[in-house]
Amino acid sequence: MPISTAPAEGVDDGAPVTNAAKPAAHRWISTAVGVVIIAFMLFPLYWMVNVSLQSGGGAVATPWFPAAPSLDGYVQAFNDQGRNLVTSLVVSLGSVVLSLIIAAPAAYALAQFKIRWATWVLFGVLITQMIPGIVVANALYSAFSDIGLLNSLPGLILADSTAGVPFAIIVMRAFMGSIPPSIVEAARVDGAGQLRAFVSVVLPMSRNALITAGLFTFLFAWGDFLFALTLTTTEDVRPVTLGLYQYIGTYVSDWSPIMATAVLSSLPAIVLLLVAQRYVAAGVTGGAVK
């Protein structure tokens, strides 16, 4: 996929032709190329689904297509990992709630209040992105062990939010900066306190930003592997990511339940992309380039 593909087209045309003026056939060729690119990129995900639907996918070559799909893999995946899926769901939802409660007021304060050291706080938030998860896990392990948060849902929720909180602050601050201060001030003049103005005016207006931040916080916590690996030691609280990792270690004789688990663990991402695509797109760009 050399960079020169797009420019080469300009040469073909001879003159700068606007896209709309191109013949329809030409544009469908681009679509075909695009489909090939995406097919290459999504092949592993197709393979995941394909293998998950094969029955008795032992140590033999998997057929290229699920000609005779079987749900045995999923049955076993639910038997082995059902509990872990629930744990993942609880931890992820908990992390969304915690992250938004912490991040929304902070994002608002950073966006709207005239606080002199606000840039320093924001800088600190950005710096957190450089701190490796293993450093956090290293310190949290001993701290959690002292206060009894190892192998607990609250412990995982707190640790998993290390991805969500900074991200949510950055995304929501960018949005809340565009709320006209006069709207908030109007509410304040009507006698609303700072907190009430925030809850009844700012939050409803920031619905989209809250959804975007919430979606990604969910996906971050759902996909977390490092904290699950380091901060749990028993099977009591075991997210599906860790369940999958242990599957790979022990079960390699039959790949269909492993891939069924992988598909199940990928479902939230797929569903969210289908139903909330515009929020996802907003989050990807909003998080990196404010």
Partner 1 sequence: MSTRADAGTLASASDAAARQPRGGVQPPSRGGRPGRSSARTKARIAELAFLVPALVYLVLFFGYPVVKNLLMGFQAYTTKTFFTGEAPFVGLDNYAAVLSSSLFDKALLNTVLFTAGSILGQFVIGLAIAVFFRRSFPLNNVLRALLLLPWLVPLIASAAVWRWILDTDYGALNRALQLLPFVDGNPAWLTSTSLALIAVIGVNIWLGIPFNATILYGGLQEIPEELYEAGALDGATGWRAFRHITWPLLRPVVTVVLVLGVVYTLKVLDIILGLTNGGPANSTQTIATLSYVRSFKEFDFGQGAALGNVLVLLSLLFAVVYLRLNRKAVDE
Contact 229, 242 (CB under 8 A): yes
| Residue 233 C-beta: closest distance to partner 1, Å | 10
- Please tell me whether residue 149 binds partner 1 under the rule CB under 8 A: no
Q: 189, 196, 207, 275: which one contacts partner 1 (CB under 8 A)?
A: 189
Cβ nearer to partner 1, comparing 79 with 193: 193
Compute the half-sphere exposure of residue 186: CA atoms within 13 Å on the CB side of its CA.
8
Sign of the C-alpha dihedral computed for residues 243, 248, 253 and 255 taken in this order: positive
Interacting residues with partner 1 between 196 and 225 (CB under 8 A): 198, 219, 222-223, 225
| Residue 47 C-beta: closest distance to partner 1, Å | 6
**What residues contact 23, with CB distance under 8 A and at least 6 apart?**
none
Burial status of residue 69 (CB atoms within 10 A of its CB: 0-12, 13-18, 19 or more):
middle
Q: 97, 121, 192, 203: which one contacts partner 1 (CB under 8 A)?
A: 121
- Please tell me whether residue 77 binds partner 1 under the rule CB under 8 A: no
Interacting residues with partner 1 between 228 and 247 (CB under 8 A): 229-230, 241, 244-245, 247
Interacting residues with partner 1 between 36 and 75 (CB under 8 A): 37-38, 41-42, 44-45, 47-48, 51, 59-62
| Residue 73 C-beta: closest distance to partner 1, Å | 13
Q: Which residue has the tokens 């924001």?
A: 122
